[in-house]
Amino acid sequence: MQQFAHRPALIVADRWRDYQLLDCGDGLKQERWGDITLVRPDPQIIWPRHGEKPGAPWTKWDGFYHRAETGGGRWEYRRPLPDHWTVHYEPLQLTFKIHPTSFKHTGLFPEQAANWDWFSAKIRHAVAPATTAATDSCEAAGPRSVNVLNLFGYTGAASVAAAKAGASVCHVDAAEGMVKWARENAALSGLAEAPIRYIVDDCLKFVRREQRRGRRYDAIIMDPPTYGRGATGEMWKLEDHLWELLTECRALLSEQPLFFLINAYTARLSPTVVANLLAELLHDRGGQITAGEVGLPIQRDGKTLPCGIYGRWES
């Protein structure tokens, strides 16, 4: 029987040392990435900015992303910054390359650490030698292998976290540059030789090919965009293609899957919608479904900045 969380749950990535969300206000967020402070726009931040003194603008920053009225934007730097640097997520012993891009991103979504912690624990538990009861005695059961499929994998943070926990991972993204970045992140985390397959492809087409090959996965992670294009120009639109992708992914699940995780950064979905999708998709698998927002703590005043939504099914 399937069980639902009674209400959307907020999960907060509050275990960082190398990253801090220092302050927010007036559509901007002030963040520390290692020893470099960046200011970037965020449309959800509609409350006022206070600055170091009430009413004053922020003065402590190294890079400031200015949004252009015609779209896109540009970085302003107060001092010469390296092209890229690294930050560490100590709880899982992970290291990531940070590089400010022309579209305001840095190559990492730090709020996702809350999900890395969750699925890393599930993978570690699954791959560790277990003790099972058999009649009146206990016998040792061998470790289980765990195969994880990460779709729309971006720069590979989730892939690296899953591999670090002991899983074999298939990382798929349509952008060759992002897949290369994922390889770099794996190497930085000491996983250059880890069992990670890196695939540049359209996610839906790849999933269908995996079905024909007879491959199965114990866990699936995905972060589908609102709009996008595949490796050879295929158009992706969330409302039109998400359910189709989910049903194709279901056919890839092993007999005893561990989890199915959906992340989203679009206002077009709510946590309840994601929970309903998972319930419809896995109605005969039992397990538990939770959904909600993922966020970051704001150092200045203790608020939480919501950064996206998630839905989790777990056996």
Q: What is the pLDDT of residue 213?
A: 97
Q: What is the pLDDT of residue 268?
A: 78
Question: What is the rounded distance in angstroms from the CA atom of residue 96 to the CA atom of residue 284?
Answer: 38
Q: What is the pLDDT of residue 101?
A: 95
Coil, helix or strand at residue 149: strand
Q: What is the pLDDT of residue 50?
A: 77
Question: What is the rounded distance in angstroms from the CA atom of residue 261 to the CA atom of residue 56?
Answer: 41
Q: What is the pLDDT of residue 239?
A: 85
Query: In what helix (H) or strand (E) does residue 95 lie, and over which residues does it extend?
Result: strand 94-98
Q: What is the pLDDT of residue 221?
A: 98
Distances (CA, A) of 35 to 77, 82, 132: 14, 12, 48
Q: What is the pLDDT of residue 54?
A: 63
Query: Model pTM?
Result: 0.92
Q: For the residues of 24-81, what is the DSSP string, one character each?
A: EETTEEEEEETTEEEEEE-TT--SPP--SSTTPPP---SEEEEEPTTS-EEEEESS--
Q: What is the pLDDT of residue 134?
A: 40
Closest listed residue to residue 111, CA positions, set 295, 266, 299, 298: 295
Which residues are within 8 A (CB) of 226 and not within 5 positions of it... i.e. 6 or more apart?
Answer: 237, 238, 265, 266, 268
Q: What is the pLDDT of residue 51?
A: 65
What average pLDDT values come out for the chain (315 residues) when binned by 10 residues?
72 98 95 98 91 75 93 93 98 98 96 98 89 43 85 98 98 96 98 98 96 98 87 78 96 97 89 95 95 97 96 96
Question: What is the rounded distance in angstroms from the CA atom of residue 125 to the CA atom of residue 107?
Answer: 29
Helix axis angle, 238-250 to 203-213, nearest 10°: 20
